[in-house]
Structure 1
Amino acid sequence: MINRQMTPMTPLSDMRRDHSPAVRLGHDAVSAVKLSQQLTADIDAWAETHQITRSDAISRLLAIGLHASRPPAMTQPKLRDPVAIEQNAIQLIDQMLDPSLPADERERRIRRLVEGPAEFAGERIDLPRHSG
């Protein structure tokens, strides 16, 4: 069947329960989302910075967020060796730090996060206990 604009009509089999057309092959879905005023303002600012529309900004930000939260393709085996655990932690922290930091500052921050605050050293189970 053809409608008045001479475009193919959506067959009934492609209709969802809410009577909106399902996404057809080759067409992007249009989704309505409820956003707070602050979130909308933040998205608009991001869109303006990147010189794109709000719709494109939402799509890109969702893609960035989904990509960032994807689990690793291959799960790493559980580490039981304390040295291996520490090395893994150092590696992960190093990846998160700003690459423009000087090497000594990066090392200081990594050590601070791996070793933790001095006031908690007595609570750590991975450190030897000093009998007093």
Structure 2
Amino acid sequence: MTPLSDTRKDHSPAVRLGHDAVSAVKLSQELTADIDAWAETHQITRSDAISQLLTIGLHASRPAASLQPQLKDPITIEQNAIRQIDQMLDPALPADERERRIRRLIDGPAEFAGERIDLPKPYG
């Protein structure tokens, strides 16, 4: 009998030392057929094909959050917003009209200026 490793901290079942974990997954018939075709092309078993395809998939893409830096600085956030808005505006607009539209979107309507939490409040 193969010795078992300690139970993991997440309380999942222990895995036999020296052996890969065996996992049961539910696959549609279409997905199973696609995996079998891929396995046949690569002359490997279905199990090895699933393992290789998962490895390829996990290394092919990273979460979107890690691709974009976390923007916390208000000035950087505003600069990025200005750049995005500028890219969406019609390039045929005169420069002063482009600036007016960008400011209107960034600053918001004047009637809401008192409600903005990022602007200092007048005392008095």
Q: TM-score, normalised by structure 2?
A: 0.46
Q: TM-score, normalised by structure 1?
A: 0.43
Q: Please identify the structure whose Cα radius of gyration is greater.
A: 2
